[in-house]
Structure 1
Amino acid sequence: MPHDPHAVEVLLTLVEDDLPVPAYAHPGDAGADLVTRVDVELGPGERATVPTGLRIALPDGYAAFVHPRSGLAARHGVTVVNAPGTVDAGYRGEITVTLLNTDPSSPVRLRRGDRIAQLVVQRVERARFVRAERLPGSHRGEGGLGSSGGWDAPTG
């Protein structure tokens, strides 16, 4: 990819030098690929926390979010348990990804260097939480989970 002068600079170190640096597969992609540092097998319904071999230093005001890979999800039923996982600007440890095999019958084998997740770097705002006597009204009000309608399960 050509150098983007508008890209945020993220410093990194690798646990092992032969691992790839995160990279975007296509121009315009939001997520850079993360790979597994170890071989892992996930049986049906199993989860494992998988090391990526990557440590990063994000600038203040940024966070990185670990998202599942759509191909792994569609073809093998593998997802990220706490998607998106959050990497805070102050974290300096190895990024790990907790993967889950949702397939009810087939194991999934991942080899060192296989792409397992995507890392999306975003600017984030800090909030100042202010106690109030009451909140201003809104169109939605107190409507919660499922309050906008959608799919209804058949009854009977």
Structure 2
Amino acid sequence: MQVKVLRLQKNIKLPQYQHNGDSCVDLINAGEDISIKPLSRHLIPTGLKVSIPDGYELQVRPRSGLAIKKGITVLNTPGTIDSGYRGEICVIIYNSSNETVEIKTGERVAQMALCKVEKISWEEVDDLDITVRSEGGFGSTGTHG
């Protein structure tokens, strides 16, 4: 699907799929090198603005390599970019480790997927259908197989 994109810096490469079958493209740090202290967060600019078609959203998600190697994750996972938003895409990253983490300019910090959005049409009822699960949640099935 074609999505209009505006690069805020012409030297920034457009996000690309790294492999056939990938569902996400990578987002980079388009700002300066930064140091993120332990247990703190930082807003990372990507240098991109987009025009998402109606009926779709972009979801910003963590990269598994950064999570396991450096303890870096996207704080509000998934981050939602609505179709009406026209500002710069930024990523709120969080350092969950006990060490300061360096993020260099151009380093891939998150990934992004284009997702279809369905609108909810509420039907108010007096009762809901019965299921096996019923109201069980929050660990109700136990922790071991």
TM > 0.5 fold call: yes
Q: Which residue of the partner structure matches residue 69 of structure 2?
A: 75
Structure 2 residue runs of 5 or longer lacking an equivalent are none
Once residues 75 and 8 of structure 2 are traced to their aligned partners in structure 1, the CA distance between those partners, rounded to angstroms, is 23
Q: CA deviation at 1:84?
A: 0.8
Once residues 18 and 129 of structure 1 are traced to their aligned partners in structure 2, the CA distance between those partners, rounded to angstroms, is 46
| Selected match of 1:115 from 78, 90, 108 | 108
Question: TM-score w.r.t. structure 2 length?
Answer: 0.94
The amino acid across from 1:140 in the alignment is R
Matching of residues 17-56 of structure 1 within 5 Å? 17-38=10-31, 39-56=33-50
Q: CA deviation at 1:110?
A: 0.8
Q: Which residue of the partner structure matches residue 123 of structure 2?
A: 130
Question: TM-score w.r.t. structure 1 length?
Answer: 0.87
Structure 1 residue runs of 5 or longer lacking an equivalent are 1-7, 152-156
Q: What SS does the corresponding residue of 1:72 show, helix, strand or coil?
A: helix
Superposed structure 1 runs of 4+ greater than 4 Å apart: none
* Percent of residue pairs bearing the same amino acid type: 40
